[in-house]
């Protein structure tokens, strides 16, 4: 399971029916009914933490807890036109984009010398959608959030309800970031082995992880189908879905910050440009700055999290795959990418 999913699972034991409202009980019953009928696949964690097994649901491999969250979203979530959903395939820059968008949205609310991102991990400031929809056994937690609600998710585009994804003015806005699948795979492999170590499992050999990933068996995979869903949506509804590439954001972060702000209808004013607000956001949210903050280097045992803050950060580099993949592995992933994205104007060259 991804860092955001495990770190932000509901803190209450929502399996106890007395803590569920009637609507949630019906959704949980529906989940229990379909669970035995879904194809099962080996995850990357064995049976660890109850999320090791993947369930194939409408073409994607989803662990049970996020799938239950998806069903709750369909049955109970009431979107607002001001909602902002950061969507990613796991290990494609989620933490970084959380920080950037949070800083953009709240740039008039906080001083850069005393900013929440200096004392809180981005995962604490931007809630994980399919996890927190389960908080407290009702929608009251999500509904109580003030607008604009900024949420993060790994849900594939086709698995969101139409009320969120339509081109109507009442639908949400999505910001999506993808990454070269070679780097995404290597980052996921490293991260999953951190989780396996916590579960006292031996490391998963990269060859075994590769066999799963390249046939599509990965968290919310197939990876390529996840990307395609948002790419096509961005072409059809560019005012509702902003599609970014990790490599582009790394190359010119300032330009991407301006692009995100304009997409959210929060463009930087001339005064803000003159004051260097864009540069301040870029510096605040840089990998170097975030990864070296005390809050992101120290383990806070009081939060009782399975994943600790230091584990959200590794290298944040483009092209690190070359240090881990054989030429044959890289060629296979490149060929799949070429075949999947042929003729649609999308590549990672």
Q: Which residues are tagged catalytic?
A: 154
Residues 6+ apart with CB under 8 A from 180: 246, 247, 318, 319, 321, 348
Directed axis angle between helix 94-105 and helix 277-284, to 10°?
150
Q: What is the Cα–Cα distance from 126 to 119, expressed in whole angstroms?
A: 14
Contact 193, 203 (CB under 8 A): yes
Residue of 74, 84, 48 whose CA lies nearest to 306? 48
Distance from chain centroid for Cα 207: 25
Between CA 60 and CA 68 the distance in angstroms is 14
Contact partners, residue 116, CB within 8 Å, separation at least 6: 102, 106, 110, 125
């Amino acid at each position: 399971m991804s860092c955001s999913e495990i770190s932000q699972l509901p803190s209450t034991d929502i399996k106890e029916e007395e803590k569920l409202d009637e609507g949630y009980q019906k959704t949980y019953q529906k989940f229990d009914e379909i669970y035995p009928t879904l194809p099962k696949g080996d995850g990357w964690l064995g049976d660890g933490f109850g999320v090791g097994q993947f369930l194939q649901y409408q073409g994607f491999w989803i662990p049970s807890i996020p799938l239950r969250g998806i069903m709750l979203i369909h049955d109970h979530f009431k979107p607002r036109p001001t909602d902002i959903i950061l969507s990613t395939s796991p290990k494609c820059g989620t933490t970084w984009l959380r920080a950037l968008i949070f800083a953009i949205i709240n740039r008039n609310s906080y001083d850069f010398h005393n900013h929440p991102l200096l004392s809180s991990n981005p995962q604490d400031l931007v809630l994980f959608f399919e996890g927190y929809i389960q908080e407290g056994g009702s929608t009251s937690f999500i509904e109580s959030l003030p607008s604009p609600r900024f949420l993060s998710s790994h849900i594939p585009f086709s698995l969101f309800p139409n009320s969120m994804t339509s081109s109507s003015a009442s639908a949400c806005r999505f910001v999506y970031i993808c990454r070269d699948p070679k780097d995404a795979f290597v980052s996921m492999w490293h991260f999953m082995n951190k989780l396996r170590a916590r579960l006292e499992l031996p490391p998963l050999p990269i060859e075994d992880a590769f066999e799963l990933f390249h046939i599509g068996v990965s968290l919310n995979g197939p990876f390529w189908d996840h990307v395609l869903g948002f790419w096509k949506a961005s072409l059809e509804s560019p005012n509702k879905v902003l599609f970014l590439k990790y490599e582009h954001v790394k190359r010119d972060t300032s330009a991407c910050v301006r692009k995100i702000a304009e997409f959210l209808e929060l463009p930087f004013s001339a005064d803000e440009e003159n004051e260097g607000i864009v540069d301040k956001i870029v510096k605040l949210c840089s990998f170097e700055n975030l990864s070296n903050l005390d809050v992101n280097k120290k383990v806070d045992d009081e939060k009782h999290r399975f994943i600790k803050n230091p584990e959200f950060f590794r290298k944040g580099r483009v092209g690190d795959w070359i240090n881990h993949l054989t030429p044959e592995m890289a060629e296979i992933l490149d060929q799949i990418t070429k075949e999947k994205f042929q003729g649609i104007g999308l590549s990672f060259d």
